[in-house]
Amino acid sequence: MTYAALATQIARIAWGRSECDSDGTLVDVHFNENDLHAPCDMLARLGVLRDNIVSHSFPADWSPLNEARLIRHVGEPTEGDLLLGLMFYTEWFPSEAALSNRHPIFSRDRTCWKPVAGDLVWAVQGACELLLKLKAGSWQANGDFWPRSAYSDSYKIELYWTSRNEMIRRLGSEKLLYPPTHCPPKDLAG
């Protein structure tokens, strides 16, 4: 349950950051220099997102109101990886994680699932609530949300790449990080 909940909350935050591509596909454009691609890579490894090198895209039927459909397999990220990714996001978006934004309203009355103003706040607050339930974070007296644990500094997202590289070493191929029914990143497809 925790594994799916962590992955779903990461997907909701990535969705809250997304924009519609020219063909109507929801895309989270992140490039690679700031590690915002790390949580998205975790989701690509679970078949939730498609890796487009400098962005990740959602399937057409994605809805943030449903639990993410995960393709579990030998190359999937660990629960620790997902926890790290979620904590990274709450630290990356401190204003959205602030106590003053607690219990945001999500507008459900729309036909397009393109994110609108406030959806990122809704997604990040959901992450804070989950981390609070897991005793992996708390709101401070100043209203900030602080993740806590060995994973709580945003620079520690680098631990994900170490974990990912170890999985590649164990499996023998980066392609095996992705489920067989999912397209690997374009630079691995060859």
Q: Using one digit for the tens of pLDDT, what is the confidence trace for 123-181?
A: 999 999 999 999 988 888 888 888 876 555 556 888 999 999 999 999 999 999 998 76
Q: Is residue 188 part of a domain?
A: no
pLDDT tens string 100-116: 887 766 655 544 556 77
In a domain, 40, yes or no: yes
Higher pLDDT: 74 or 60? It is 74
With pLDDT > 70 as the criterion, what percentage of the chain qualifies?
84
pLDDT of 57 over the 70 cut: yes
Alpha-carbon radius of gyration of the chain: 16
Lowest pLDDT segment from 41-45, 95-99, 117-121, 142-146: 117-121
Amino acid occupying residue 39 = P
Contact between 165 and 48 (Cβ < 8 Å): no
Q: Are the C-beta atoms of residues 56 and 30 closer than 8 Å to each other?
A: yes
Question: Total structural domains in the chain?
Answer: 1
Q: How far apart are CA 35 and CA 49, in angstroms?
A: 16
The C-alpha torsion from 188 through 75 and 34 to 67, rounded to 10°, is 110
Biggest distance spanned by C-alpha atoms of the chain: 52
Domain residues for 26?
2-180
Residue 44, domain member (yes or no): yes
Residue 186 lies in a domain: no
For position 8, what pLDDT does the model report?
A: 97
Assigned domain for 187 exists: no
pLDDT of residue 110: 45
Q: What does the pLDDT read at residue 19?
A: 87
Asked if the structure places residue 185 within a domain, the reply is no
Domain assignment of residue 58, yes or no: yes
Q: What is the pLDDT of residue 7?
A: 98
In this predicted structure, what is the pLDDT of residue 111?
47
Taking the alpha carbons of 160, 161, 165, 168 in that order, is the dihedral positive or negative?
A: positive
pLDDT band at 22 (very low <50, low <70, confident <90, very high): confident
